[in-house]
Amino acid sequence: MVSKTPIIAADAKGLERAARALEQGGLVAVPTETVYGLAARADRDDAVQSIYRAKGRPDNNPLIVHVACLDEAQSFAEFSPEAQTLAKQHWPGPLTLVLPRKAGAPLAHAVSAGLPTLALRVPAHPAMRALLKLCDFPLAAPSANRSGFISPTSAQHVAASLDGRIDLILDGGPCETGLESTIIAVRESGRQEILRPGAFFAEQSVAVTSAGIEAPGQLSRHYAPGKPVRLFAKVPADDEFMIGFGPIKGDCNLSEDGDLSQAAQQLYACLHLGALAGAARIAIAPIPETDIGVAINDRLRRAAR
């Protein structure tokens, strides 16, 4: 296949080029510590609409707005004292806060898909941080994959899904965490709800009162490799590509040491391998439901749905 979207290194020159493309309303895939994001300027409707078009994303599934710092985030949403505490403790990092959107916030209507709330994050990845510094606007950035399919943790994953549909791919190597951010909604009362488990796993400091479903798309089939997925597998059938974990062997292994952080980092790469393999189906070893394993199992359940 002839590649149509340039893949360039996320160095100073690459970042300058990306910032120019974004300034003009273009679409740029960028590395973050979680997964690769598909960025567009969040203050322009046409730019944000083009994210939905490129991904084939339903227009009722809102986007996360990435900003350089807490001060900037506060110009777009109402931060209760509880939200401020969370942001101060965990930003920059893989935590997204869903907060009441400020009336008149200078953002495209489509970023929050008609909801009165806004999802905000200050990412930690040095390339994404440098890019946000170069841009004098915030960046809307969902995962850089076709809607519903496996999230990308490398520039090659992005190209496999979106080549020719976006302007540029910044290559910053494999993502360190490998799973999407944890999304926590902080209500005006201060009550906190985990809307999506993720890379940041809640400590006791987060009083989780319920796992509410708020945004459309949160329950739907997602992260799908395009073939049937069987969970809790110990031995593969003849027509299965086996993804192992710990002592359970496979065609690839999430972590031979049984390390959950490593498993999170490898998860999407292994699912991509399974999707490309000749086998008709994918089988996956059991993953413990502890720490980041909670988020891994959330993604696996949706991939298998």
Can you give the binding site for ligand AMP, defined by CB under 6 A? 61-64, 98, 112, 115, 117-119, 142-143, 180, 183, 195-196, 214-215, 217-218
Instruction: From the list ligand AMP, Mg ion, none, pick the one residue 277 interacts with, judged by a Cβ distance below 5 to 8 Å according to partner type.
Output: none
Please state the three-class secondary structure of the chain as a single string. Answer: CCCCCCEEECCHHHHHHHHHHHHCCCCEEECCCCCCEEEEECCCHHHHHHHHHHHCCCCCCCCEEECCCHHHHHCCECCCHHHHHHHHHHCCCCEEEEEEECCCCCCCHHHHCCCCEEEEECCCCHHHHHHHHHCCCCEECCECCCCCECCCCCHHHHHHHHCCCCCEEEECCCCCCCCCCEEEEECCCCCEEEEECCCCCCCCCCCECCCCCCCCCCCCCCCECCCCEECCCCCCCCCEEEEEECCECCCEECCCCCCHHHHHHHHHHHHHHHHHCCCCEEEECCCCCCCCHHHHHHHHHHHHC
- The least CB distance from residue 14 to ligand AMP, in Å, is 22
With CB under 5 A as the contact rule, the residue among 143, 192, 253, 255 that binds Mg ion is 143
| Cα 274 to Cα 290: distance, rounded to the nearest angstrom | 25
Tokens of 258: 């049984």
Least separation, in Å, of the C-beta of 78 and Mg ion? Answer: 26
Q: Which residue, 9 or 115, is less far from ligand AMP as judged by CB?
A: 115
In sequence order, the 6+-apart residues with CB closer than 8 A to the CB of 268 are 35, 150, 151, 152, 153, 157, 178, 223
Closest separation between CB of residue 117 and ligand AMP, Å? 4
Q: Binds 112, which of Mg ion, ligand AMP, none (CB < 5 to 8 A, cut-off by type)?
A: ligand AMP
Shortest distance, CB of residue 60 to ligand AMP, whole angstroms?
9
- Whichever of 117 and 255 has its CB closer to ligand AMP, that residue is 117
Q: Pick what 152 binds: ligand AMP, Mg ion, none; C-beta below 5 to 8 Å, kind-dependent.
A: none
What tokens appear for 176 in the block?
């360190």
CB of 179 to ligand AMP, least distance (A): 10
- Cβ nearer to Mg ion, comparing 19 with 269: 269
Q: Do 43 and 185 touch, CB atoms closer than 8 A? A: no
Give whichever of 143 and 297 is closer to Mg ion, judged by the CB atom: 143
Nearest distance, CB of residue 13 and Mg ion, angstroms: 29
Rounded to the nearest whole angstrom, what is the least distance from the CB of residue 247 to ligand AMP in the complex? 32
Minimum CB distance to ligand AMP smaller for 139 or for 195: 195
Residue 94 binding: pick among Mg ion, ligand AMP, none (C-beta 5-8 Å cut-off by kind): none
Query: Do 254 and 263 meet the contact criterion of CB atoms below 8 Å apart?
Result: yes
Q: How far is the CB of 214 from ligand AMP (least distance, A)?
A: 5
Q: Which is nearer to Mg ion, 223 or 241 (CB)?
A: 223
Q: Which does 98 bind (CB under 5 to 8 A by kind): ligand AMP, Mg ion, none?
A: ligand AMP
The entry of ligand AMP, Mg ion, none near residue 159 (CB within 5 to 8 angstroms by kind) is none
| Interface stretch with Mg ion, choices 83-91, 143-151, 257-265, 297-305 (CB under 5 A) | 143-151
Contact positions with Mg ion (CB under 5 A) in 235-254: none
Q: Which residue ranges make up the site for Mg ion (CB under 5 A)?
A: 143
